[in-house]
Amino acid sequence: MKMIYLDYAATTPMCKEALDVYQKVATLYYGNTNSLHDYGTEAAQLLELCKEKVAGWLNGETECVYFTSGGTESNYVAVQSLLHGSIHKGKHIVTTKLEHSSLLNLWTHLEQEGYSITYLPTDSYGLVSIHELERAIRQDTVLVAIQHVNHEIGTIQPIKAIGHLLKEKGVLFHCDCVQSFGKLPIDVKAANISSLSISSHKLYGPKGVGVLYLNPYTNWKSVYHSKSTTQSLRPGTVNMPGIAAFVTATEQVMKKMTEEHERYQHLFSYLNQCLHGLTDFVHVEGYHSHHLPSIVGLTFASVQGQYVMLQCNRYGLAVSTGSACQVGQQSPSSTLLSIGKTTEEAKRFVRISFGKETTDYHIDQFVMTLKKLYHEFSYVK
């Protein structure tokens, strides 16, 4: 029996359209975009077209789109480039414990370099308070980094309100949009975003491709010592087949974004209905109007998340215990701790996430497995 996949927030399979384009570009447009002959010119023209597409989806400028190896690199390069370009202003950063591990690890490193990091509190749903953000901003605050959608419980932050405040304060704004791009509309101008990150493999594109958008009116300085001709921020030969495949996959996603959002809302509502008889065993986290319905965080009353994940795997269901980038770490999820969970409660966490293949049947199978586990533990008690 084919395994049921409920871990789309970790990664997605490449769609057929992206696979076809990858092969075509690798075969026909293999010239180096920096080369001056016709092969290079054709590849460079294709690169420019891809940048135009991404800029259009973000309501941004084409020259501000840079392709990277993924969301992690985009986060790192964005923050470091903005900080290097604003070192004269100050060394205070405001962020949250909800951020992706690529940024949480970077904050620790930056503290060793003399930066001061303020972590904003959140409510039990994982929402940031604009009032608390305003209070945290100081004279030497240079950057605020707040993700658009949390990768573990799906909380949507009010990035337009955040961007409006930061514009008034003259503070840079980095936004991790890895989980939101292709699922929610993003307007870099309306949200006053200085930089944002995107990852291809969350959108049925290839792994190893990401996007970094840098506001054209922002002072930044490349973290690299050398610069390429077509990518003024990031050196090296661009991955043209991967970039074209990513853009193709995104085109497919954008066509059905509204339709898919409504379908995910149905799946989320259906899951909640099915869990009514298990409320003393499992709790849905981040259940709020500001929530992306395709990401569902669950905490259990009497069993660790890793055990639930392993049992689901035994019954043919692929779920996760949180961000795939933190698997194997002994420390509990910083997201769960941030919303007020104890260390022990945070270890009882499981995430499921929906994709284009997810149906009511998959929800039924997942809930059926949870009922088996519930009866097992009730019997043990």
What are the tens digits of pLDDT across the range 239-272?
999 999 999 999 999 999 999 999 999 999 999 9
pLDDT digits 0-9 by tens, 13-52: 999 999 999 999 999 998 888 788 988 889 999 999 999 9
Predicted pLDDT at 230: 40
Domain 4-12+256-380 falls under CATH 3.30.9.10: no
Looking at residue 229, what is its pLDDT? 40
Residue that the structure tokens 């594109």 belong to:
205
How much is the pTM? 0.94
Annotated catalytic residues are 325
Residues of the chain with pLDDT under 70: 1, 225-232, 322-330, 378-381
The amino acid occupying position 122 is T
Residues whose CB is less than 8 angstroms from the CB of residue 289 and which lie 6 or more positions away in sequence, other chains included: none
DSSP-assigned letter for residue 277: G
Helix (H) or strand (E) holding 169: helix 159-169
Say how far apart CA 309 and CA 251 lie, in whole Å.
33
Interior angle at CA 278, CA 274 and CA 327, nearest 5: 90
Listed in order, the ranges of the chain carrying CATH 3.90.1150.10 are 4-12+256-380
Residue limits of CATH 3.40.640.10 in the chain: 16-254
Q: Any idea what DSSP says for residue 155?
A: B
pLDDT of residue 323: 57
Predicted local distance difference test score (pLDDT) of residue 226: 56
On whether the CB atoms of residues 208 and 242 are closer than 8 A, the answer is yes
> Domain 16-254 belongs to what topology?
Aspartate Aminotransferase; domain 2 (3.40.640)
- pLDDT for the residue 228: 43
| Tokens 């610069």 found at | 227
Confidence (pLDDT) at 225: 67
Instruction: Please name every residue paired with 285 in a beta bridge, in sequence order, or none if there are none.
Output: 297
Contact 186, 148 (CB under 8 A): yes
